[in-house]
Structure formats: structure tokens, C-alpha cells
Amino acid sequence: MRRALGVLLLLAAACSTKKVPEDHWYPHAEMLCQERRCPSCHGTRGVTCFKCHGSGEITCTSCRGSGKRTCSKCDGSGRYKGDECDDCDGKGQKKCYTCGGDGKETCPTCSGKGKIACLQLMPVTEPPVASPDDAWPANNFQGAGEKKK
């Protein structure tokens, strides 16, 4: 029962909106997700990212998708001290440095992968069977579930 409670706590923590890093998995949550055919991911452990809807990209936050930004030297006028601005060639705008001019940037939630880890909260009726190879700590959560290489 104690182990089942631990698994539930890990699952509840994992259901937050934060992405679980690739190198840090909770082995028993992963096992439950696969064995019980999780209704969210059907046992695949990955669900479509809610922020980018699976594309891996979001609208650039600096230029709001235009791909351009106002020239800081001439404040968008195209002129600097009576002459044509040499930073923007008199256009008043420059290519956005965040997105490189395409209006998109990598999704910070899924790191551009389009999927995030699914560790869905599922009812546990019996504790999972532990094997000697599990990275499950007995009495504390330090290093909980570090993926073995």
C-alpha cells in the first residue's frame, strides 16, 4: 500500500503542466501507463503538446509572428540624425533576432518535439512488482526514477 501511495504521488506530480525531461522518467508510472493502456496516450507515453498542438513551433513572442522588429537605432523612422539609418537601410525595420525572420520559434513546452510525456493519474489497486533493476528508492525520492543507460 505504501508503494502504491508513492506511485500515486509521483503520478500526481507528473500530471502538472510541466514537461518531464527526457533523461528523467518515473519507471513505475511508465509501466502503469503502458500496462493499463492509458486513455490519454494509449500506452505510448507521449501526448500532443498542448501549447504548439504538435507542430513543435509557436508564434514568435518577440515579433508576434511578423518576422520583423522595429529598428532600435532610428525607432522605426528609417532616418537617423537626418540621414538614412544605416542599421535598417532606411526601412525602419530589421529581421527579428529571435525567430530569424520566419515568425516562429521553438515551442518551450515540448522543446520542438511536438509531444510531451504522458504520466496520467490512474487508480492503483495493487502496488507494482519491483525488480532489483528498478531505480526506485526505498525510503526517499532523491534520484527518483533516473533513466538507466
pLDDT band at residue 140 using 50, 70 and 90 as cut-offs: very low
Pairwise CA distance, residues 23 & 145, whole Å = 9
The parent domain of residue 67 ranges over 57-106
The answer to whether residue 111 is domain-embedded is no
Do 11 and 44 lie in a common domain?
yes
Do 123 and 85 lie in a common domain?
no
Do 41 and 25 lie in a common domain?
yes
pLDDT tens across 104-134, in order? 999 988 888 888 776 544 455 555 555 555 5
For residue 111, give the amino acid letter.
S
Q: Is 94 helix (H, G, I), strand (E, B) or coil?
A: strand
Do 7 and 24 lie in a common domain?
yes
Do 102 and 132 lie in a common domain?
no
The answer to whether residue 22 is domain-embedded is yes
Number of domains in the chain: 2
Pairwise CA distance, residues 29 & 6, whole Å = 10
User: Which residues, 6+ apart, have CB-to-CB distance to 29 below 8 Å?
Assistant: 7, 10, 11, 14, 119, 145
Do 101 and 130 lie in a common domain?
no
The answer to whether residue 125 is domain-embedded is yes
